Amino acid sequence: QVQLVESGGGSVQAGGSLRLSCAVSEYIDSTYCLAWFRQAPGKEREEVARISETGSTRHPGSVAGRFTISKDNAKKALYLQMNSLQPEDTAMYYCAADFRRGCWWYVFDETSSYWGQGTQVTVSS
């Protein structure tokens, strides 16, 4: 059973930065597709960044240029650098891992993917 533990959340003012970390219980060298998601109260869960087993990344338009996903295979860690934070970025942030091949072609879900418990990010104006 893969375990993921997020940290680094907190409260910041608009324009500020935070770096989220996700500790993974198993090696993430070339096996996992990893991602960050967020969910605000009353809203659906939203993917904010994804990184493939080879290190290629994808960030959707809402966070492109402000958020950067990265990983450190040796430390078994996933990161999300968040800059120029805005109040609309306020949400619970989750990291997720998935074994399936074809990182860019599937949706992370509750059946096949592994999820952390989340870390809260609050941005005030």
The SS3 assignment for 1 reads coil
- pLDDT of res. 23: 96
- pLDDT of res. 37: 98
> Is 52 within 8 Å of 61 (Cβ atoms)?
no
Q: How far apart are CA 68 and CA 81, in angstroms?
A: 5
- pLDDT of res. 15: 97
Q: Is the pLDDT of residue 30 over 80?
A: no
Arithmetic mean of pLDDT, 9-17 = 98
Residue with tokens 């993974």, as numbered in its chain: 24
The SS3 assignment for 61 reads coil
- pLDDT of res. 101: 86
pLDDT tens per residue, range 76-101? 999 999 999 999 999 999 999 998 88
The SS3 assignment for 91 reads strand
What share of the chain has pLDDT > 70, as a percent? 99
